[in-house]
Amino acid sequence: MPILNIRDDEIYYEVHGSGFPLMVFAPGGLRSELAFWRYSPSNPSAPAVWMDPMAVLGKKYRVVAMDQRNAGRSRAPIFASDDWHIYAADHLALANHLGLDRFHVMGGCIGASFCLTLCELAPSRITSAVLQNPIGHADNRDVFANLVQAWAKGIREQRLEIEEHVLNNFGDNMFGGDFVFSVHREFVRQCKTPLLVMPGNDPPHPQVIGEEIIELAPNVEALRQWKGPEHLQTAIERVKAFLDRHTPR
């Protein structure tokens, strides 16, 4: 089982296929694990309404997927000061471990905000970003408060040594902000990384957030019809074409 040890962290990851690298960040909020590319986080018996990039893109790309810290098979300490940057540090450490100098990124749900964080912190390394179902703040503060509470309850049941206030502070650091939570609008306005945005249409993934990213970003494409089996093949082809255009030759 491939595990990356970073300080006291254990990050589970998988590599599928070969070619130019593509790092993918799964849906699932704070429970984001690579299995959620294959089935719905809210209903494991139901197939996902999105593509599985490990399966469909691994034929051309070296697809790197992971369970995020404290999700799935990954474990890490939790501190009250942790925020989006601690996740980005994991992502870059895994890229360094695998020898990935430059790479594409693709994220669903919370993964879209992970992608934007990397675009801000390591712009010279990110060749393009696919943002599927981006999360964001749009009169939905209760949605993310409930998400954090449910996740924190699971953490406390397994790790009683972690105090409740630490988890509350962590949740505020992650979802207490505005827009897409991880970066500011001003960054997106000047982001040079090519983006393909696939807006969502439900409370955790407000359509208005996806549309605002499309409006702000200077180097952006939009794919608005992508959910469900009737759009699956079109979405796969659009993502493939986008990545191919931005793969260094």
pLDDT digits (tens, 9 = 90+) for 108-136: 999 999 999 999 999 999 999 999 999 99
What would the pLDDT profile of 181-232 be if each residue is shown by its tens digit?
Answer: 999 999 999 999 999 999 999 999 999 999 999 999 999 999 999 998 999 9
pLDDT category at 20 given cuts 50, 70, 90 is: very high
Look up residue 203 and give its two tokens: 């409370």
Q: Alpha-carbon dihedral of residues 204, 118, 16, 45, nearest 10 degrees?
A: -10
Whether the pLDDT of residue 84 is over 80: the answer is yes
**Other beta carbons less than 10 A from residue 17's beta carbon:** 18
Query: Is 2's pLDDT higher than 90?
Result: yes
- Give the pLDDT confidence score for residue 25 in this predicted structure: 98
β-strands 61-66, 9-16 pairing: antiparallel
Question: What's the pLDDT at 7?
Answer: 83
User: For residue 231, what are the CA distances in angstroms to 15, 198, 227?
Assistant: 26, 12, 6
CATH of 3-245, one of 3.40.50.261, 1.20.1250.20, 3.40.50.980, 3.40.50.1820: 3.40.50.1820
Taking residues 87-98, report their average pLDDT.
98
pLDDT in tens, 49-81: 899 999 999 999 999 999 999 999 999 999 999
Whether the predicted pLDDT of 8 surpasses 90: no
pLDDT of amino acid 49: 86
Please state whether the predicted TM-score (pTM) of the whole model is above 0.95: yes
Please report, for the chain, the start and end positions of each structural domain, with discontinuous segments joined by +.
3-245
Q: Tell me the pLDDT band of 6, cut-offs 50, 70 and 90.
A: confident
